[in-house]
Structure 1
């Protein structure tokens, strides 16, 4: 199932933690490479969301 709703900061952090934890335990090098790429994308997204300007209302 695909949900295009933007993730909250805490959700992105949880995803990064889950990927990092899995990478520590991973033995298969191909799977580890793919998960490392996904973690990199999540960390870039985390950086972008964390540093975006807050809209004042």
Structure 2
């Protein structure tokens, strides 16, 4: 059985918090990237549709 003193528990908590923070930021950036790509595709699609209506 591993016995941890208060300092090592604090270290493990800091490590876990750093990991969770990095994971949260990464997932947040991925979500923002996905939203930006989605909005860009929608705007591009609307521009293409507008041009097609002008052509017709």
Shorter chain as denominator, the TM-score bin is 0.3 to 0.5
TM-score normalised by length of structure 1: 0.45
Q: With CA pairs under 8 Å and 6+ residues apart, which has the higher RCO, 1 or 2? A: 1
Choose 1 or 2 for highest CA Rg.
2
> Which of the two has greater helix per residue?
2
